[in-house]
Structure 1
């Protein structure tokens, strides 16, 4: 088989056109979208796209065909700027290779075509081309902020554009990567069209590290919608702190790494203001909070009205449920529930709790006569969903969506 300069010219020009949609100028021009050094090619290599201007349209698939002679394509690899390999399929006879996934937008691809002639002699061609940037992007912002958290802290992803289609959601999930050491079994849950939460099957292991990153940049999510770059996130998990408040026995039990380190007498919500049952995650700590009954609908001057300075306040819901110092109810702590929804304790006990709790730690209320904690919308109630139900909120792990609609975001208001 002849390996003449003319074959290189044909190959070079056809690669200029390759998957480029907008094509090249004269072969060998500095404006060519593909460039490569000569190699020993068996037969003519052509691409499916017609000539045009560069860069190429990422909505058009890449196709490589070998025509004439008795050679064959043995392999084609196309890797983009971020090291992502473009999936493709080679025909059984080696005459044709085509991409089976959408090209990324706004990236440079390096394409390597391996061939062999009728005598088995290998040939190789390496070329590059760029794709046009996307006009409409969806961005993901991860949360919480980098730092150290408790074992109950979910990872969040807030999207800049709503994504409703299940196939598009699956693309998003595949690209949002959560890795932990030690490794855990976890999944994303679509809280709504723009917000996702990620949690493990069980609480994070104590002292774990969690890394979150996105491979979404340039990836086609749906028609005309592509992913944008995202800032990665790294979290450290602290000790396994689990707090249980028993509203019936009026006792709070504080466990660290499986051992009870403190038991505190408390008071919780009285009838009509009962504390929510369920697992909550600490949202933050405030040394001082002014709590007023009017913020939760209690008329000023009524028998339930209050306006109090509150110290050592640990927030567990956005609607205003705290664990805090309540020196005015010390006589009831350990005996009866007299608060307006919060968990109250002595000032000294509240100071100890405040110093030993951190954001992301788990606080569970049991045996209250009140409603259950919302799964979403009023803090992190994620752990109240069984793992099977959690998986149903994933576009990748569930055959159908469960139709869950999160509660509206509650007002920021204190309850005492």
Structure 2
């Protein structure tokens, strides 16, 4: 007897075959399912996120840039708007992963930040924030001496210091000095010297070279001067140094020799300060010139009935210190010019020499005084900058 055979339905065999086919990849490899699909990973793409720096900050410096960054996506737009409705300029990085402001903010301002980014999942996210800048108790300007406009056509002499006179006392001198730069072409070594809490002077190691271009920059906006005072605004100015004019006044010979670009071109008889009011020794720098000028000793505190007091109208006057020393015409001392010193401290010339000197010497030009019997011109006496050795001058910097 033959064994009994078992028969399977055809439909069941076909179903089993289809099930096996669905469990394998078309190329014989591994899992080809997509995230979240049957047989695939359960993970989904991470959504984009946006951060704002500084985040919801208050009292920041207006020079601190607002930076917006995106993660797991790219920024699509960023807007920073002031409380007055002004849009602040900014720029994206090439990869659009970040954005930052490209203009400084204002003092005591509130700024609204709104940013959008699109993630790999195609969805857009938004981030908002607010930034508030500090409110100074006072703002200080950086006033330049000499005024750039006053010497634009004439240039300055080789002895001219560059002076910043600030509108308020500076407590944080090092911070302010770091914001000041002087670039000269051709290049010359130079340094700053703080005369007091408001005035800082810059001079090179030696006199400026004729023809030098001097570019002066004060990036003080946002700089903390101390005691609630901040810099008002940045400024950049340029000076041009003209030919070298140096006068050498000798109290022993009572002669003044004139040097133009290093060569002596003239000598003239002079009368300097008498024993009771001797002319200061050392290099002096011309700070002002007036064809007609009333000299009054009261302007520096010497008033009648003091026997040293005086008041007189003079011609062709050029100031060389802040305590009443000038080079000028004096017809009353012509008989003593070349043989004795009889002035109140000025350098007296006859009419022809005074006019010639006036026509050739200007702001920043130098008068070097020797053998006058007087004390050294103080460094603080307007432009007594050259009375200091280079080593001592450098010690006046707040960065030493």
Cα pair 1:20 1:54 within 8 Å, conserved? no
Q: Structure 1 320/223 Cα, relative in aligned 2: closer, same or farther at 3 Å?
A: closer
Is there any run of 5+ residues in structure 2 with no aligned partner, and where?
Answer: 1-34, 36-40, 59-65, 75-79, 83-96, 114-126
TM-score, length basis structure 1 = 0.66
Paired residue for 2:354? 350
Counterpart selection for 1:163 from 144, 161, 170: 170
Q: Structure 1 229/305 Cα, relative in aligned 2: closer, same or farther at 3 Å?
A: closer
Shift of 1:265: 0.8
Distance in 2 between residues matched to 1:329 and 1:227, nearest whole Å: 50
Q: Structure 1 290/142 Cα, relative in aligned 2: closer, same or farther at 3 Å?
A: closer
Paired residue for 1:139? 141
Deviation per CA, 1:206-249: give whole Å up to 9, x if none.
11111112222224455855433133222111111111100111
Paired residue for 2:260? 256
Q: Structure 1 192/107 Cα, relative in aligned 2: closer, same or farther at 3 Å?
A: farther
Q: Structure 1 202/298 Cα, relative in aligned 2: closer, same or farther at 3 Å?
A: same
Counterpart selection for 1:19 from 36, 42, 54: 54
Shift of 1:21: 3.0
Counterpart selection for 1:198 from 197, 202, 220: 202
Q: Which moved more, 1:153-162 or 1:190-199?
A: 153-162
Shift of 1:306: 5.8
Paired residue for 2:94? none
Paired residue for 1:66? none
Cα pair 2:68 2:100 within 8 Å, conserved? no
Distance in 2 between residues matched to 1:143 and 1:106, nearest whole Å: 32
Cα pair 2:297 2:324 within 8 Å, conserved? no
Deviation per CA, 1:258-315: give whole Å up to 9, x if none.
111111111111110111111111011111123457777475797x776543211111
Paired residue for 2:102? 81
TM-score, length basis structure 2 = 0.68
1:245 aligns with 2:249: yes
Deviation per CA, 1:177-231: give whole Å up to 9, x if none.
2111111111111111121111111111111111112222224455855433133
Cα pair 1:105 1:218 within 8 Å, conserved? no
Q: Structure 1 356/77 Cα, relative in aligned 2: closer, same or farther at 3 Å?
A: farther
Counterpart selection for 1:387 from 383, 386, 390: 390
Q: Structure 1 277/294 Cα, relative in aligned 2: closer, same or farther at 3 Å?
A: same
Is there any run of 5+ residues in structure 1 with no aligned partner, and where?
Answer: 24-32, 42-52, 56-75, 84-103, 111-126, 399-416
Q: Considering only CA atoms, is the larger Rg found in Structure 1 or Structure 2?
A: 2
Distance in 1 between residues matched to 2:140 and 2:181, nearest whole Å: 16
Paired residue for 1:152? 159
Paired residue for 1:374? 378
**Aligned positions of 1:252-291 closer than 5 A:** 252-291=256-295
Shift of 1:392: 0.9
Distance in 2 between residues matched to 1:204 and 1:130, nearest whole Å: 50
Q: Structure 1 106/264 Cα, relative in aligned 2: closer, same or farther at 3 Å?
A: farther
Shift of 1:394: 0.8
Q: Structure 1 222/369 Cα, relative in aligned 2: closer, same or farther at 3 Å?
A: closer
Distance in 1 between residues matched to 2:263 and 2:358, nearest whole Å: 18
Cα RMSD between the aligned structures?
4.1
Paired residue for 1:120? none
Paired residue for 2:47? 7
Q: Structure 1 39/379 Cα, relative in aligned 2: closer, same or farther at 3 Å?
A: same
Q: Structure 1 223/311 Cα, relative in aligned 2: closer, same or farther at 3 Å?
A: closer
Cα pair 1:35 1:128 within 8 Å, conserved? no
Distance in 1 between residues matched to 2:225 and 2:44, nearest whole Å: 44
Shift of 1:162: 1.9
